[in-house]
């Protein structure tokens, strides 16, 4: 049985690494939970699944969509890949502490999921990674500096032009 569970996971990794299209993967495993769910968690889990279905119908020619429902440690987590590497991740679960026990909370960060899906579209129809694109879509994880305004970019360009003249 363990081999049967490992084979699809290897297949998913192979698909995301070999696809020329960007990949959006949703891990959804409601049964992997030690604690009871909060009152809104079931609705939010369903909303995540519905959004995945809507996005896959809308962008099916441009993005490879993978829904992983086989044995994972995650309950609800979105992963976004471009050129075989993970660009970002949106995990929708957290543990909250109630008065009597711990609960698992499933959230529905719709705007963030849309944002990351649009970011991953930047990776379609490219032959390889673009350093500027990688830096821009990782939101500061590469440089640690976060967003920069257009003024910052203009100042940098002006400095580069001045340096070339000297």
Tell me: do 42 and 22 sit in the same domain.
Answer: yes
**Tokens describing residue 113:** 């999921």
- For the chain, the domain total comes to 2
Tell me: do 68 and 150 sit in the same domain.
Answer: no
Tell me: do 119 and 143 sit in the same domain.
Answer: no
Calculate the average pLDDT of the chain: 79
**CA angle 86-79-30, nearest 5°?**
150
pLDDT level of residue 151 (50, 70, 90 thresholds): low
Residue 131, pLDDT > 90, answer no
Tell me: do 13 and 60 sit in the same domain.
Answer: yes
**CA angle 98-99-104, nearest 5°?**
15
Tell me: do 88 and 32 sit in the same domain.
Answer: yes
pLDDT above 70 covers a percentage of the chain that reads 63
Tell me: do 117 and 51 sit in the same domain.
Answer: yes
Q: What kind and span of H or E run contains 132?
A: helix 131-137
Tell me: do 53 and 9 sit in the same domain.
Answer: yes
Give 48-60 pLDDT, tens digit per residue: 999 999 999 999 9
What span, in angstroms and rounded, lies between the C-alpha atoms of 143 and 41? 35
Give 85-115 pLDDT, tens digit per residue: 899 999 999 999 988 899 999 999 999 999 9
Give 15-42 pLDDT, tens digit per residue: 656 668 999 999 999 887 788 899 999 9
Three state DSSP letters for 24-76: EEEEECCCCCCCEECCCHHHHHHHHHHHHHHHHHHHCCCCEEEEECCCCCCCE
Residue 61, pLDDT > 60, answer yes
Domain housing 137: 130-166
More confident residue, 155 or 66: 66
> Strand 36-37 relative to strand 102-106: parallel, antiparallel, unpaired?
parallel
């Amino acid at each position: 049985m363990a081999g049967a569970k490992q084979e699809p996971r290897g297949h998913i990794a192979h698909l995301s690494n070999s696809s020329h299209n960007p990949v959006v993967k949703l891990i959804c495993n409601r049964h992997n939970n030690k604690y009871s769910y909060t009152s809104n968690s079931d609705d939010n889990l369903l909303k995540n699944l519905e959004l995945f279905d809507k996005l896959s119908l809308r962008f099916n020619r441009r993005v490879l969509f993978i829904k992983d429902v086989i044995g994972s440690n995650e309950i609800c987590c979105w992963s976004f890949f471009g050129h075989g590497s993970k660009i970002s991740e949106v995990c929708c679960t957290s543990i909250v502490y109630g008065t009597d026990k711990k609960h698992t909370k499933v959230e529905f960060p719709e705007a963030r999921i849309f944002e990351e899906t649009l970011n991953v579209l930047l990776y379609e129809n490219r032959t390889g990674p673009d350093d500027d694109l990688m830096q821009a879509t990782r939101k500061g994880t590469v440089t640690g500096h976060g967003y920069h305004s257009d003024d910052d970019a203009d100042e940098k360009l002006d400095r580069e032009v001045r340096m070339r003249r000297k």
